[in-house]
Amino acid sequence: MTPLDSTPTPLALARLFVGVALAGIGGGLPAHTRRALLARGWMTEEGFAETFTLAQLTPGPNAANLAAMVGARLSGRLGALTSVVGVLTPGLVVMLAVSVLTLGGTGDLSPTLQSALRGAACAALAVLLTAALPVVRVGWGVRGGPAVVVLTFLALGVLRLDLLPVLLAMVGAGLLLHRPRRSG
Amino acid sequence: MTELWAMFLAYVRLGLISFGGTNVAEMERVLVGEQGWIDAGTLANGFALGQLMPGPNMLAVTHYGYAAAGLAGALVATLGFYGPTALIGAVAALAWERHRANPWVVAFRQALLPFGGGVVLAGALVLGQTSVTSWMGAGVAVAAFLLLWRTRVNSAVVVLGAAVVGALLGL
């Protein structure tokens, strides 16, 4: 664990997440969140991997949950609130404006816009990968980790199994492997 | 008013069941089929717009709410979809911090981290299959990855740049 530079205020978190939201056009919010937090020294690579995984486990749209968790960890209840409001506000405002415009007309997207969207999606995949690799590295370093990483990837990515049974099997196996042993 | 309340509850439910990703199939079933609040075209357009918005992709729900019941509908849909799950997330994170020293929490963390690694890799694969549809697209993805990995350039600049490249190439 490296020492952290400082703890942010709720307002600073709101600003960070507004920035993350503006960066997250086309997806990849967790990746942008990681980049922003690490750049400011507010969270370690390990702390982020842990929070990110927890966010995956709670029900709901990931990006908002991650904001809530990061905010809660760094700055308590108020931090959670400002983080979620921060991450939602920019898109909410733009989406309302766009809704007013498109729902008046036919609402079809132009071919150029669709091409731009596809380009952005490819870059968003790259953004996701830059965030995924550190999380994989942290998980890989745990005892028995590589097997769990590979099996989980195959089950969810290749076989497209349901998340819940895979989660129960993998985390159950991990708990058995790492169960607390009474010393002495 | 009762209609708005029904809408709120429907979006709360949709938010809570989108577990580890968005359940678009269920959204279609409820919003288009069961309730008839929006039509299939609005569902698809809202989804595409959601990808373009700054912030979470599923701000499509704001669009759906607006289409069904104007500004009040948009706010009800957004609050319902994101509010309760964010609250659960915050509570879970705080509980996690409080019991950090408990040996079972330590064990749970060790069990969780490799699983998290597998989940993000699977997510990358699923997203890659839908977003990279051509060799040019793959090239854009690789170039973006190298830029992000090797430099400290802001990721928004990379994504917007890729959007411009995509428009120019006619991806």
Both tokens of B171, joined, read 């991806």
Pick from A127, A158, A172: which is nearest to B159 by CB?
A127
User: What are the E-state strand segments in chain A?
Assistant: none
* Three-class DSSP category at A60: strand
A107 shares a domain with A22: yes
Tell which A residues from 111 to 170 touch B, by Cβ distance under 8 Å. 111-132, 135-140, 142-153, 155-158, 160, 163-164, 167, 170
Do A87 and A173 fall within a single domain? no
The residue extents of the domains of chain B are 2-119, 132-171
Do residues A86 and A174 share a domain? no
CA-CA distances (angstroms) from residue A100 to A105, B47, B95?
9, 16, 41
Interface residue of A57, A122, A130 to substitute, partner B, most B CBs within 10 Å: A122
Contacts of A103 in chain B (CB under 8 A): 42, 66-67
**Whole-angstrom distance, CA of residue B59 vs CA of residue B4:** 18
Selecting from B126, B128, B148 the residue whose C-beta is nearest the C-beta of A127 gives B148
Of A55, A98, A100, the CB nearest to B89: A55
pLDDT tens-digit readout, B25-82: 677 888 888 899 998 777 777 776 777 788 887 888 999 999 999 999 999 999 999 9
Query: How do residues B106-144 score in pLDDT, each as one tens digit?
Result: 888 888 889 888 887 887 887 787 778 889 999 999 999
So what's the pLDDT on residue A2?
46
The parent domain of residue A166 ranges over: 142-184
pTM over 0.85, yes/no: no
Cβ separation B50–A95 shorter than 8 A: yes
Written as tens digits, the pLDDT of chain A (184 aa) is: 445 667 899 999 999 999 999 887 756 788 889 989 999 999 999 899 989 888 877 777 778 899 999 999 999 999 999 999 999 999 999 999 988 877 765 556 678 877 887 787 788 788 778 878 888 888 899 899 999 999 999 998 888 787 778 888 998 999 999 988 765 3
Residues A111 and A160 in one domain: no
A21, A62: one domain: yes
Q: Are residues A40 and A103 in the same domain?
A: yes
Residue A36 and residue A108 share a domain: yes
SS (H, E, C) chain B: CHHHHHHHHHHHHHHHHCECCCCHHHHHHHHHHHCCCCCHHHHHHHHHHHHHCCCCHHHHHHHHHHHHHHHHHHHHHHHHHHHHHHHHHHHHHHHHHHCCCCHHHHHHHHHHHHHHHHHHHHHHHHHHHHHCCCHHHHHHHHHHHHHHHHCCCCHHHHHHHHHHHHHHHCC
Residue A10 is inside which H or E element, if any? Answer: helix A10-23
Q: What angle do CA A17, B7, B57 make, to 5 degrees?
A: 30
- Closest by CA to A135, choosing from B142, B155, B114, is B114
Residue A5 in domain: no
pLDDT of residue A184: 39
In a domain, residue A4? The reply is: no
**CA–CA dist B156, B160 (Å, integer):** 6
Q: Residues B75-102: what's their mean pLDDT?
A: 91
Place of tokens 């049974």: A165
Q: How many domains does chain A have?
A: 2
Interface of A with B in 53-112 (CB under 8 A): 53-73, 76-77, 80-81, 84, 87-92, 94-96, 98-100, 102-103, 107-109, 111-112
With an 8 Å Cβ cutoff, is A4 touching chain B?
Answer: no
> Are A56 and A106 part of one and the same domain?
yes
Statement to judge: residues A167 and A133 lie in one domain: no
Contact A171 B111 (CB under 8 A): yes
Both A58 and A147 in one domain: the answer is no
Task: Let me know if residue A174 belongs to a domain.
Answer: yes
* B146: pLDDT strictly greater than 80: yes
The whole-angstrom distance between residue A116's C-alpha and the CA centroid of its chain comes to: 24
In a domain, A1, yes or no: no
Do A179 and B107 count as a contact with CB atoms less than 8 A apart?
Answer: yes
For residues A112 and A153, state if they share a domain. no
**A28 found inside a domain:** yes
pLDDT score at B105: 83
| Other CB atoms within 10 Å distance of the CB of residue B6 | 13
Distance from CA of A107 to the nearest CA of B (A): 7
Whether A28 and A61 share a structural domain:
yes
